[in-house]
């Protein structure tokens, strides 16, 4: 539940900050007439993400077991790829996010209402689709048959909405760089478990071999139905009896990705103007 809460919190806050930037910019520039198109684009993006999540959940139930496992494994791998790109992208561009969004909104304001709706839809929709896919993959990997993973996600999203509103009202100051750095690192660990589980799904679907080749089995020490076994599975997607393929995939993803993510981030050096540019401004 905690892992899904943190996913909902981080992804929800990221989308919430996008909304805050768009709304605040329109208010400060006196373009309140454009607020309705922005809210329309946001609403369509939220509905699309919700519909996508429902399609993943209910659509897969009509498939055979092998097809479910093949689909689940494939989408889990795609989800890990998207969330990995997202955490690195946010780490690199968070400080420039406001300028990028307001620049796009300026262009949309000049083009008309449809462009405003489209800008808000694309800004929030990407976050929503990524979140829906990764949450579905995570819930599928950690679900114990209860509603706790879904409840965790919803609580995270509700918390994110409240924090975004407080942030917009100026009642809350968040060190966004530190917040996204720490939660991004945690998501990399969660993603490693989702990726390993995705490969296990493909093994169960007979797409990949090695289903019976266990790397180790410590289920006697950490029973899957114990409170600590449930906690480890719910937070880190831990499995006490993984296959060799799962273990290798987990290590090959986690070690290099987490190492690269935790390396000190160096901003790109300022571009030195050419002699022609210097003379032109000179």
Average pLDDT in the 199-221 region?
88
Domain assignment present for residue 99? The answer is yes
Q: What is the pTM of this model?
A: 0.72
d(CA 215, CA 152): 31
Domain assignment present for residue 279? The answer is no
Question: What are the pLDDT digits (tens) for 110-132?
Answer: 887 788 788 888 878 877 888 78
Between residues 144 and 26, the one the model is more confident about: 26
Domain assignment present for residue 194? The answer is yes
pLDDT at 202: 92
For residue 162, what are the domain limits? 2-265
How many domains does the chain fold into?
A: 1
Strands of 162-221 (E only): list them. Answer: none
Domain assignment present for residue 273? The answer is no
Domain assignment present for residue 274? The answer is no
Annotate 107-176 with DSSP letters as a single string: HHHHH-HHHHHHHHHHHHHHHHHHHHHHHHHHHHHH--SSSHHHHHHHHHHHHHHHHHHHHHHTS----H
Domain assignment present for residue 276? The answer is no
Domain assignment present for residue 280? The answer is no
pLDDT at 250: 92
pLDDT at 71: 86
Using the predicted structure, report yes or no on whether residue 168 has a pLDDT greater than 90. no
Tokens of 141: 């990997």
Mean pLDDT of the chain: 79
Using the predicted structure, report yes or no on whether residue 67 has a pLDDT greater than 80. yes
Question: What are the pLDDT digits (tens) for 174-194?
Answer: 676 777 778 888 888 888 988
Domain assignment present for residue 69? The answer is yes
């Amino acid at each position: 539940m905690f892992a899904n809460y943190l996913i909902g919190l981080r992804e929800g806050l990221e989308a919430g900050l996008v909304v805050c930037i768009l709304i605040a910019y329109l208010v400060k520039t006196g373009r309140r007439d454009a607020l309705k198109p922005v809210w329309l684009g946001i609403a369509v993006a939220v509905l699309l993400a919700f519909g996508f999540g429902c399609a993943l959940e209910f659509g897969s139930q009509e498939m055979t077991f092998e097809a479910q496992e093949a689909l689940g494994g494939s989408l889990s791998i795609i989800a890990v790829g998207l969330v990995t790109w997202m955490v690195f992208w946010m780490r690199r561009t968070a400080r420039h996010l406001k300028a990028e969004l307001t620049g796009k909104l300026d262009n949309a304001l000049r083009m008309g209402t449809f462009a405003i709706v489209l800008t808000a839809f694309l800004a929030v929709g990407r976050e929503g689709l990524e979140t829906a896919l990764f949450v579905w993959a995570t819930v599928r990997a950690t679900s114990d048959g209860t509603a706790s993973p879904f409840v965790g996600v919803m609580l995270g999203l509700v918390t994110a909405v409240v924090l975004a509103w407080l942030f917009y009202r100026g009642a809350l100051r968040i060190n966004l760089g530190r917040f996204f750095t720490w939660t991004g690192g945690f998501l990399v660990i969660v993603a490693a478990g989702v990726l390993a589980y995705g490969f296990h799904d493909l093994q169960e679907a007979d797409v990949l071999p090695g289903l019976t080749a266990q790397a180790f089995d410590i289920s006697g020490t950490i029973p899957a139905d114990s409170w600590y076994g449930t906690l480890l599975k719910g937070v880190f997607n831990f499995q006490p009896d993984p296959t060799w393929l799962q273990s290798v995939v987990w290590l090959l993803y986690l070690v290099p990705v987490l190492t690269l993510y935790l390396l000190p981030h160096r901003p790109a050096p300022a571009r030195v103007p050419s002699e022609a540019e210097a003379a032109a401004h000179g």
